[in-house]
Structure 1
């Protein structure tokens, strides 16, 4: 279910990484298309378009050059990183945790500017008119809010369309 979203977010993050690399490059350098590689993720397999630069100096950090698998941890961090409502400080901490180095506010801004529209587009995609099977579930967590612990529910909805796809 999340594979198309993970693909879009990963490609947008890689594009933002390249933009940041090109902005910091002292030599004349520019984009040079993209390569394709098959990525195996816990949610499914997908074709990833990895951006390139003309000089060949771009070394992506999110999905490295010869990496063909995406761990569940990276997927969770991508979703958490680009969840709406996170502050730049929170996003900065997540990027630092993911990449093991700190990044500038400008880089954070570039990444969020590219990825948030993709996330909003995915959230607003049209749904099928009919779903013959729908599963609903909720997990209750104790959450600290305003200095007090409260029970909050996280709802999950899973549906099967007429073609048998989730």
Structure 2
């Protein structure tokens, strides 16, 4: 009986991972959760998750892939090409962290995409280079940078931040300078769009549910891990943010996006 149920979940997971997707997504967000998976020996393995919001404001988990932690451009191209082959022809905005090869691979698959680096990940990466006693002050001052009115204001505010902290924490400054081009992209948007794309809050909420379901022990295989994550995705809970569903205030957001992306929005609705 257990074997038949397991086989059914395997079949459902396989069908889910190969299902057709929409032609155009307003936003795709990519993040990862680390799980303990046995592959000879038990090791920490990242599971990368892509969440998309289509032009109707419906969000969905588009794909999941188990990695090694050392993924480069070739691997990312393979995984992202899988989404393209399942029907995704265009993406307006992609939100991710600065994983090696990921931003460039996204643009190779969807040449017109605007790639934005997740602010939450950038702040976390920054704090790794600072003493704990300075975290609160640094986070507060960085908030003034990523909530600036526009790119010029952000540059001016970051110059002040660099003057204050650059000598003590040059590696922290480097995190932002290396990523500046992708970071400031979203500052051209009004608040209706910024609050959707400036962070991967949707995925962070999903990861929280994943962690609740996977916090004990380890998985005997990649497939076993993906089955559990799939069941979490499929389980819709009342009065909670679910991984699938309607995006709040989407009509306001899509009208703003239409102003920026024109026919790429209008012709595909």
TM-score (norm 2): 0.20
Q: Structure 1 or 2: larger helix share?
A: 2
Tell which has more relative contact order, 1 or 2 (C-alpha 8 A, sep 6+): 2
Larger radius of gyration: 2
TM-score (norm 1): 0.29
